């Protein structure tokens, strides 16, 4: 779990989880670069359209919440905030 919190790329993950996190990172960096092929890749791993919608909705909620915290200088969880964060590539 600790590895997931600091750098999911180094964590031992199954193929489905890794693919979902890769899409999440891609969408976070530039959602306009997400393609049908990305979604088809998730479907090929057994994700349903509902699964993908749920994942994207959760991601969007956290981006929304983090944006508010960043702009307003809020620290919701000091323990989490003090953890080593990973920079996007």
Is residue 75 a part of any domain in this protein? yes
Is residue 35 a part of any domain in this protein? yes
Is residue 40 a part of any domain in this protein? yes
**Could you say which DSSP state residue 35 is in?**
-
Write out pLDDT tens, residues 15-45: 999 999 999 999 989 999 999 999 999 999 9
10 Å Cβ neighbour count for 56? 17
Q: How confident is the model at residue 4 (pLDDT cuts 50, 70, 90)?
A: low
- Sorted by sequence, the CB contacts under 8 Å of residue 75 that are 6+ apart come out as 69, 81
pLDDT at res. 81 = 66
Write out pLDDT tens, residues 52-86: 999 999 999 988 988 888 898 887 777 766 765 65
Is residue 23 a part of any domain in this protein? yes
Structural domains in the chain (count):
1
Residue 71 belongs to domain with CATH number: 1.20.1290.10
What is the extent of the structural domain holding 74? 2-81
């Amino acid at each position: 779990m600790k590895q997931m919190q600091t750098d999911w790329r180094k964590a031992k993950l199954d193929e489905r989880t890794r693919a979902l996190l890769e899409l999440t990172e891609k969408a976070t960096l530039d959602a306009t670069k997400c393609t049908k092929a990305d979604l088809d890749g998730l479907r090929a791993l057994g994700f349903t359209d509902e699964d993908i919608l749920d994942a994207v909705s959760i991601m969007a909620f956290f981006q929304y919440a983090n944006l508010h915290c960043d702009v307003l200088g809020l620290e919701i969880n000091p323990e989490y905030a003090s953890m080593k964060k990973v920079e996007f590539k």
